[in-house]
A = this chain, B = another copy of it.
Amino acid sequence: MADAVLFEFLHTEMVAELWARDPDPGPGGQKMNLSVLEGMGFRVGQALGERLPREMLAFREELDVLKFLCKDLWVAVFQKQMDSLRTNHQGTYVLQDNSFPLLIRMASGLQYLEEAPKFLAFTCGLLRGTLSTLGVKSLVTASVAALPTCKFQVVIQKS
């Protein structure tokens, strides 16, 4: 009995429930659903971030914070590490997961590619929320070129 899949099942149900209310929400409704998911992810990320040991909340380098997301956060949520982390050294980071767990079940063909955004919104929020608790304001977007590989782009917002 694996409790690791509990999050995955619950996430699937959440996405299904939002879309079940309005099976053909149109561009506006689609956007609202994505924003609801992103918001839920943000608050879960914040809450997870608040449970970090204090010393972790005092990262000195931006890059350390991103490495923390790729290792510790990813393992806590998905039981695996992010596959790669790249940066332009100007506040933009690309985090790549070659087999993103929330996409694996639909990874069987190009025809599902357009369904991908609804399975990414929560996780974008999760990254943004955890960063927020760590004192880093950011914009997070996700893109999929070939399932189940997924790239999360984090752009740090300088204040």
On A, residues with C-beta under 8 Å from B are 1-7, 9-11, 13-14, 17, 36, 40, 43-44, 47-48, 51-52, 72-73, 75-77, 79
A3 to B79 alpha-carbon distance, docked (Å): 9
State whether A51 and B6 are in contact (beta carbons under 8 Å apart), knowing that A14-B14, A43-B13 are contacts in the complex.
no
Pick from B5, B11, B44: contact of A48, CB under 8 Å: B5
Closest B residue, CB atoms, query A14? B14
Beyond the given A10-B11, A10-B44, please list 6 additional residue pairs across the A-B interface where CB-CB is below 8 A.
A3-B75, A3-B77, A6-B7, A6-B48, A7-B7, A9-B48
Determine whether the beta carbon of B77 is less than 8 Å from that of A6.
yes
Determine whether the beta carbon of A14 is less than 8 Å from that of B5.
no
Determine whether the beta carbon of A1 is less than 8 Å from that of B73.
yes
Min CB gap A118→B, angstroms: 15
Q: Could you list some 14 contacts between A and B, CB below 8 A?
A: A1-B48, A1-B52, A1-B72, A3-B4, A3-B7, A3-B79, A6-B7, A6-B44, A6-B77, A7-B10, A9-B47, A9-B48, A10-B14, A14-B40
Determine whether the beta carbon of B36 is less than 8 Å from that of A5.
no
What residues on B are CB-neighbors of A75 within 8 Å?
1, 3
Determine whether the beta carbon of B52 is less than 8 Å from that of A40.
no
Determine whether the beta carbon of B10 is less than 8 Å from that of A10.
yes
A1 to B52 alpha-carbon distance, docked (Å): 6
A4 to B7 alpha-carbon distance, docked (Å): 10
Closest B residue, CB atoms, query A122? B10
